[in-house]
Amino acid sequence: MGIEFEVSEQIPATQETIYEAWLNSSGHSKMTGSPAVVSSAVGESFEAWDGYITGKNLELEFPRRIVQRWRTVEFDDSDEDSFLEILFEAEGKGTRVTIIHSNLPDHGMQYQQGWIDAYFVPMKEYFGSDVGESDA
């Protein structure tokens, strides 16, 4: 264990809008295009991508930071949970979203592209539309 990486992208929405969508089941599902059941409370569990991803909220600092325990169905039972730190920083007319993913198993580098394809690409499309800004 111990693989770590960072990915970052500018998303065309405010920190508050993205942060709130991330921790809201309907908003998370809409911004990724896949079913999610999430919580905005520390200590609560979540699942995203129709149960492919599961975890627990560890630290929540509205509207700038979320820290979570995180794993997928591809983790072995013996693998420890990984840690996800999501940072939201105002940048230009949007928000720089940075994901720091650590304590991943040996196959963990696959998730680096996964964050881009399964989160950043659909988020840019969703928040770039009129629906994203008002309906998150």
Domain ranges of the chain: 3-135
26's tokens: 């309907």
Class of CATH domain 3-135:
alpha beta
Q: How far is Cα 125 from Cα 106, in angstroms, rounded to an integer?
A: 31
Give, for all 136 residues of the chain, the pLDDT tens digit: 589 999 999 999 999 999 999 999 999 999 999 999 999 999 999 999 999 999 999 999 999 999 999 999 999 999 999 999 999 999 999 999 999 999 999 999 999 999 999 999 999 999 997 544 444 4
CB atoms within 10 A of CB 127: 22
- Residue 2 is predicted with a pLDDT of 85
18's tokens: 């993205």
30 vs 27, 118, 127, 129, 131, CA distance in Å? 5, 12, 10, 12, 10
Q: What is the dihedral of CA 74, 86, 101, 49, to 10 degrees?
A: 10
Q: How far is Cα 27 from Cα 42, in angstroms, rounded to an integer?
A: 18
1's tokens: 């264990």
Q: Against a cut of 0.85, is the pTM above it? A: yes
Q: How far is Cα 10 from Cα 2, in angstroms, rounded to an integer?
A: 27
- Residue 133 is predicted with a pLDDT of 44
- Residue 130 is predicted with a pLDDT of 56
- Residue 62 is predicted with a pLDDT of 98
